[in-house]
Each structure stands twice: as structure tokens, then as C-alpha cells.
Structure 1
Amino acid sequence: MERKLLEQLSQLTPIEHRQQQTHQFIEDLDAAAIDQQAQLRTLTDYFFNSQDIYISRHNRYADYPEHTHTFLEINYVLKGIAHEVVDQQSVTLHTGDLILLDSGSTHSIQALGDHDLLINILFRTKNISLELLNDLRHSDNILYDFLVSHITGDQSHPQNYLVFNQHPNHQVQTTLNRIIEEYYQHHEFANSIIKAYLSALIVQLIREYPLNRVSQANKPQQLAMQLLTDITTNYRTINLTQLAHKYNYNRNYLSNLFKTEVGKTFSTVVTQQRLIQAHLLLASTSLPISQIMRRVGLTNKTFFYQKYQAYYHTTPQKDR
């Protein structure tokens, strides 16, 4: 990592100055980032209002309370050591180590010291390329199962977190450092580059850490993954009738299976995929919004604006 950025990340924040004196946790999040109705401290999708992947450097000198979140999270030890308790299990991470936490897992972090730097990388299911997972489906790796279970909503998967210790060839650490550099240096197209690096990171973790899978995905889960891949590829015109014919299933059966395995209706996921593509076109082209709607398969302007606002918590005009 560039020395200048490393020095920047090592500097004390105002909250750290206060925590260094009292060793008591000081709230550093907006109230909207925390689910006020939940009994356990729960972090929400607030972090993704204006970006696909959110990165922060963990504040030092005070224990961070037990919490959970609605997204996937990577804790990466850039420097030093970090002690966490994840789902009531003690985990110690050293320089170069990382832990991948599923949504719903609970964890707390013991106070970091002067020379410790812990980076939090937050992302969601839609940042994981389904085409990528489809390419990796034959890998005998628990990380693949972990990600597929998250996407399909499989609550029976035994792993809520995975720990990856520093690898001798450093490729994983290099990619993580590139992600952090892109995020903090604010270069043009940084968001797109970070998403590309995230896909590369997943492949590298599967390749460099051959963790054997515990069990194969069951047939309904495999079919749900195929349907999700079909949606990603043909989101503009896809419908359940086509897929029922393609896979030789009853349409209602396929609809119920999809809802059971994914946790969302087929139409909801199709709409979300169209919104993701619209979001990309808004950010990367100067096409009129009406033309973008047609390109992604949406024709009702009111429906588009309502769903876009609900999904991204902003308007198409603001994203442009």
C-alpha cells in the first residue's frame, strides 16, 4: 500500500482522541444507519445510499459492542492484530488476515491499539456477479457454498463466517490494498473499479484457500441459482412462463420454489435486476431516463420512480 495513504489511515480521528482518553465506545454512526426497532444493535443498508461498496477504518481504543448487519462484511487487518467474538466464538486476526461475515452473524471487536489498523468492507448480494458464481460452481470450496447460501437465503448453512489467514503469495492482500486505495483516493470510476476488484478477490480467495465444502447444494438450491443466472442474463424480457418451459416445470411450482429458496418473489428479483442495470446506465451514460427505462425492460414511469426510490433511497435524477 502507498505510504502516504497508510500514514493517513494511521492518523487519529476525533472520535479516537476521545476514546483514547476514556476507553469507552463513542457512537460514530448516523441514527439512520442503525435499526432503532431491533433489540440487538443492527446496522442497515444506509451505508449504500450513494455507493455500491462502503469502506471504513475501524476506530481504535474502545471495545466495539456486539452487533449484526443486513449485508456482507469483510474485516481486514491491514496492520497489527484484532480480537473479535463472532457468534460467541473467539477469533484472532493478524496482519494480512481477513474474516468474511454473513448478514445476521453477530460480532464484537475488542479495543484496537496504537499500531492496529482494521478495515471494514461492506457489500451486498447484488455486488456478487451471478455469472461469476456460475463459472465457479464446480469449485470444491466452502466459500462458494457460503456465497450461494447467502444469495438463495439458505438458513441451514452451518457457516456464518469464514476466516482467511495471510497467504504466502500475497495476491489477496494486494487486491484488498487496491480496493482500499481506490476508495480513499477518489479517482474517477473508482466505484466500478472497486466492484471489479471485489469479483477478483472472490476468485482469488477460492483459488488460494482451497477450503473443501461441507455439502453440495441441494437440487432446489441449484435450480434457484440457475434461475438467478437467467434473470441476470435476460432481465429485460424474462418471465416465469419461459423458464417453466425451459426447465420443464409447472409455472406455479417454479414460482413457489423460487420464493422458498431466494426469499423474494420472482417478479421482485427481476425488478431489482432491472433497477441495477438502470442505475449503471444512469451513472455511465447520458441517455434520457425514458430510454434507459426501455433498455432495461420497464415501461411504467411511475412504477420505475417508486421502485428506484425504494431500492436506492434516492431519485434517478440525483444519481445522474
Structure 2
Amino acid sequence: METLSRTQPKLHTETYRGDSFFRDDLLLYVNRVPEGFAAPQHDHDFLEFTYIAEGTGYHYIGNETYAVRRGQLFFLPIGVSHVFRPHSSNTKKQPLIVCNCLVHPSLLERVAGFVSDPDILGYIANLAEGQEQYFTRPDAGETIEQLFQALHREYTLGGEGSHDYLYALFVQLLLSVYRVKQRPPQRAGQTLDAFSAVLDYVDQHLSEELTLSRLSRMSRWSERHLQRLFLRHTEQSFHRYVQFRRMQKSCALLSGTQLTVAAISERVGYRDIGSFLSVFKRTMGMTPGQYRTTR
């Protein structure tokens, strides 16, 4: 993450209170909002996980300034002053859109009951006790983005057992954030870490042509060895796995955006919309249009 030397002028800091956000005894608040220039520098009496969903801009945290772009995660503990600003004053053409998950401190104690790993429990305890400093990480493989999308959808649409469903998603978010935060730099000989990086690469380049030859050059494994790794760790061939991930992403775009089917086809790597429609119907048992109307 790029940290800039310049800072914004010292401004009065407002405090946002959780009472304004948490409702119906729900200890989470989730939204997706475009950032502008009206919001004041502020701190808050709750924890906040923020994902940069679209665009570029700046994040002022205390006396530091971070250049931000899509795919970055921020954690803000209680009492830390911050504010987002878009890159341009023309926010219609160059928006900065963020997804926020606000967390009541008491929720951490509740969800700890779902966790058995002592290291994760220690991490949750540190969050609850204010021992974790603010941090930022990139979202490798779009795992965090998918969880924020699921949280926002459940929060806005709801359904039976919605509170429990949201808390279960939040546990997944905590575990994923912990993994992202703790993931060590890749070292030679760590096959699982290296293959995980290959899967992340696939997820980040679904809109492009993906071949075993390309992954072989990137990973320095032979195509034959890569095929064996895909079969061993995903229980699918390379081509089946890529198709599976493309269908997953197309379903997320159909339910979570207003993009046309043709645009989604290109986003997931199909230049021929006929091929996309054929694969989608064969995989999902319905057309993309039918899928969208059922969601």
C-alpha cells in the first residue's frame, strides 16, 4: 500500500456513535456508499472493516495519507480518526465507492463461541480489547470482496434467520482477514502457498485468456505438474476449475450488479457470448436472464 507524505489539514474530528447505525438488536451494520467531500474527519465507538469496491482516492488515517484503489481492505479500531476522499471532484465520472461493515464491540465476544482455533481466538480477543492497530491489506483472490457482497446482500434483503446468517458471514470475514493479515511472504519450497498464489492469479485474471502454458511461465512449474496440482487440490482439471470460477463470478455479477449479460460475459473471459450462454445454461440449468430474475 502506498503511503503518501502529504497530509490533509488538521480538522475538527467528529465521533460517530453506534446507536445511529445498529438497529433491531443487530450488532452489525453494512452499507455500500460513494465517498465525497462532505463527510467530516471522524472516529467512532465501534470497529470498522472497509473494502474499496470501485475507483481510486485517498484515505486519511490520523496523520497519514494512503492512496487507495479497488481491492483493498482497511480495518479501523475504535477511536482512530479517518476519512475517505475521492481522487477527483468529478465523482460521477471518477467515483470512489466503499463497502463498510461496522461491528458492535460486544459481537466479538458472541462470535468467539463459534471459533476453536486458539490463534484466531487470540486475534478476536485483541480486537475486542483494542490491541489491534489499524491496518490495510490487498484482497488476493477476491475472497474479501465476495464476503462483503454477501454481507451487503443479506443485510439489505434479509430473510428468515437473517441475524444468524449475518453473524456466520462475519465469522467468515474475520477468519479471512486473519489469514490475509498473517499470510507470510512466499518462500521457495512451500508448494501449498505457491499453488494458492496460482489460484489467486486465476481469480484475478478471469477476464483474460488463461492457459496452462501461461501459468507454467508464471509459477515455473511444468504444465503437467500444474495439472496434477489442480486435480489434487481442487479435484478438478485446470480447464474445469477455470470454468467453475468463471461461472461463480458471473453469478455474483448477475445478482449483484446491473451489468448486461454481454458485459458480464466479457468480464469472465468469454469473448463469444454464444459460448458463455451455452456454458452457463449447461452449468446452472437456466439462462443468465432466468438466473437474475430468481435472485
| TM-score after normalising by structure 1 | 0.46
| TM-score after normalising by structure 2 | 0.50
User: Larger % of strand: which?
Assistant: 2
